Amino acid sequence: WTCCPKGWRRFQESCYYVSADKMSWGESKQNCSGMGSHLVVINTEAEQVIRYVKGEANFYIGLSAEEVGQWHWVDQTPYNVTAAFWRPGEPSNVHNELCVVI
């Protein structure tokens, strides 16, 4: 992309859309699909850190589990359990936590 669609933000080589609408994870995933995109897949620490620099509220990312501990990304990127940029113990494997926010 040389530029992002109106209302989207560019960071490094990608465009990001941050919605102010309150939705469930499933609704958020569907909303992204409707825009020809998907929930963000965090590939680098910089992608995760940019959220904190901007100081925005929590939002869903494209990591979920159909079963406890079976994490997967919406774009089928393999989940790297040894990724160093997650807070220790996250994502947790609690029975009622099947999606991720940052």
Considering the domain boundaries, does residue 69 fall inside one? yes
* Cα separation, 58 vs 100, whole angstroms: 10
Cis peptide before 5 (omega within 30 of 0): no
> Using one digit for the tens of pLDDT, what is the confidence trace for 12-32?
888 888 888 899 999 999 999
> Using one digit for the tens of pLDDT, what is the confidence trace for 43-77?
877 777 665 445 556 788 899 988 888 889 999 88
State which amino acid sits at residue 77. T
Q: How many domains does the chain have?
A: 1
- Which range of residues forms the domain containing residue 46? 23-101
Query: What pLDDT score was predicted for residue 28?
Result: 94
Considering the domain boundaries, does residue 81 fall inside one? yes
Read off the pTM: 0.79
Find the Cα–Cα–Cα–Cα dihedral 36, 67, 96, 82, rounded to 10°. -80
Considering the domain boundaries, does residue 32 fall inside one? yes
